[in-house]
Amino acid sequence: MASNDIAAILDQLCSIYDQSVASLREALAAYCENGTQPDPALRADRAFAYPELRVTYRGDQTAGRLTRAFARLTQPGTYACSIARPAMFRDYLKTQLEYLVADYGVVVEVGRSESEIPYPYVLDGSGINVDRVTAAELSRWFPSNELSHIGDEIADGDWDYSMRDARPLALFDGPRTDFSLARLKHYTGTDSGHFQHFVLFTNYVRYVDEFVRFAIDELRREGSPYTGLSVPGGFYDRSHLTDAEAQIAAGTWRRHQMPAYHLIAEGGGGITLVNIGVGPSNAKTICDHIAVLRPEVWLMIGHCGGLRPTQRIGDYVLAHAYLRDDHVLDDVLPVEIPLPAIAEVQRALFEATVQVTGGDEDSVKTRLRTGTVVTTDDRNWELRFTQSAKRFNQSRAVAIDMESATVAAQGYRFRVPYGTLLCVSDKPIHGELKLPGQANDFYETSIGQHLRIGIQTLGLLLKEGEGLHSRKLRSFDEPPLR
């Protein structure tokens, strides 16, 4: 099917995907019930395949000097990508394709790709009982997860164009997307479809408590744009808020490594908060998977160690640069690659701090430092401070944590605008260590304000629209879709 009727194109994408899922489920059910092996002709006819979106640009219409950072074409050719869960990504695809058709006059086609849907991704909600068969049996007769088909070569600039008949249309294809959607549910305890386009990461559970209070208050507020709150193991709308805080606190979040909380608004314009815990490994993991959802922005808000003698407990740190000692991305994004600050995000973080604290810019600057944040993978870095002191000094670092540079590096890598606003919880190299009583006082007085700054920042960034996406994040051979 070739057409520039975007609605019809998206309908066809959804139809092919639904047909493939239905065919795969039918074949799986038959095998699990009576051992009937699937007809080889089905796979030969791509009956289990992802739909494919294909865009052809002949080069006879140019868009001029565009300022937006996505939906851009630099050379004629054909661009293609297999698509997972097209209904879930319908609004995203609609926006991208409308720009390409209007600005470049591309021809858009829909068909079946060569990539098959792995059988584990269609089992949820199918009612198929797989207890009597092994994974090895199913993998013998049905498409399964093959790691050779799942990777980030496009995002990391390792794509081999000589092996393909088309250039990549998007950063993530169908198998990579499905892989991450399944992992998101596992790690966060929530449906991937509940994730919102504006994401906050934190490294401490008390931010979650504050977010839940904020979310429930918003749902009770007349005229609020939010319609529901999704949490691990539950969903709360306006009519089910009685004792919601206590229910959520006692809920299933402890079963999940990085529980997520989604304050839902129309069109995905709400806020997702993920408690990623402590450490760069978690930060990398969750960003790997949320990236396939193509969020508008993600921010790190959490606590840090202050490295400057003039800082006080409760001061803020706005990261303008990062010193990467996290070591989790060095192979794919070498540490010498600079991570640029995103101007729109930096401005919004500072403006939100002014608005929430109620001070003027000069007074805010007395408790907000900008500068380099060190991210380390060593929870006890203080025990080797003599080895780190010179590097910290040379980098002019103002704070240290275990997640921020990883989140920023992943934003850079996956073209997701990023930013960091931390709150000083201790000053380890100046004799102010985080002791139990002091920690409680600090968190009680600072977390509420800090979280509100993060939320206010996302509200400001929502108004930026397409201008939020920076051309600083584009590669030389960037795929057309954001």
Report DSSP state, residue 38. Answer: P
pLDDT of residue 431: 62
Q: What is the CA radius of gyration of the chain?
A: 24
pLDDT reported for residue 370? 96
Tens of pLDDT along 81-93?
A: 999 999 999 999 9
Please report, for residues 302, 314, 443, the alpha-carbon distance to residue 429 in angstroms, rounded to integers and kept in the order given: 19, 16, 20
With residue 236 as reference, give the H or E element that holds it: strand 234-237
Question: What's the CA gap between 257 and 273, in Å, rounded?
Answer: 14
Q: What is the mean pLDDT of the chain?
A: 93
Q: Strand 368-376 to strand 316-325: parallel, antiparallel, or no bridges (unpaired)?
A: parallel
Residue 241 backbone dihedrals phi, psi, to 5 degrees: -110, -5
Stretch 336-340: mean pLDDT, rounded? 96
In this structure, are residues 52 and 110 in contact, taking their beta carbons and an 8 Å threshold?
Answer: yes
Instruction: Specify the pLDDT at position 226.
Output: 97
d(CA 446, CA 443): 5
Q: What is the pLDDT of residues 413-460, one digit of tens each?
A: 999 999 999 999 988 776 656 666 655 666 667 899 999 999 999 999
Q: What are 228's strand-pairing partners? A: 237, 264
pLDDT of residue 392: 87
Mapped onto helix, strand or coil, the DSSP state of residue 416 is coil
DSSP state of 427: B
Q: Are 454 and 421 in contact (CB under 8 A)?
A: yes
Beta carbons within 8 Å of 69's beta carbon, 6+ residues apart: 415, 466, 469, 470, 471, 473, 474, 482
Work out the burial of residue 346: count CB atoms within 10 Å of its CB; fewer than 13 is exposed, 13-18 middle, 19 or more buried.
middle
Q: Which residues of 371-408 are buried (b: 16+ CB within 10 A; e: fewer)?
A: bbbbbbeeeebeeeeeebeeebeebebbbbbbbbbbbb
* Placement of tokens 């990883």 in the chain: 406
Are the C-beta atoms of 416 and 300 separated by less than 8 Å? no
Give the pLDDT confidence of 208-267 residue by residue, as tens digits: 999 999 999 999 999 999 999 999 999 999 998 999 999 999 999 999 999 999 999 999
CB 372 within 8 A of CB 322: yes
- pLDDT of 339-396, one tens digit each? 999 999 999 999 999 999 998 999 999 999 999 999 999 988 888 888 888 888 899 9
**pLDDT tens-digit series, residues 257-314:** 999 999 999 999 999 999 999 999 999 999 999 999 999 999 999 999 999 989 999 9
- The DSSP element (H or E) to which 220 belongs, if any, is helix 205-220
**Those residues with Cβ within 8 angstroms of residue 295's Cβ, 6 or more apart along the chain or in another chain:** 195, 196, 197, 198, 199, 272, 416
pLDDT, tens digit, for every residue of 164-199?
Answer: 889 999 999 999 999 999 999 999 999 999 999 999
Reported confidence tier of residue 38, pLDDT bands at 50, 70, 90? very high
223 sits in the region (left: phi over 0; alpha: psi -120 to 50; else beta) called left
The answer to pTM > 0.85 is yes
Confidence at residue 428, expressed as pLDDT on a 0 to 100 scale: 77
Q: Residues near 82 by Cβ (< 8 Å), separated by ≥ 6?
A: 49, 50, 51, 52, 53, 113, 114, 115, 173, 174, 175
Residue 333 falls in which region: left (phi positive, over 0), alpha (psi -120 to 50) or beta: beta
What mean pLDDT comes out for the span 117-121? 96
- List phi, psi (to 5°) of 317: -130, 120
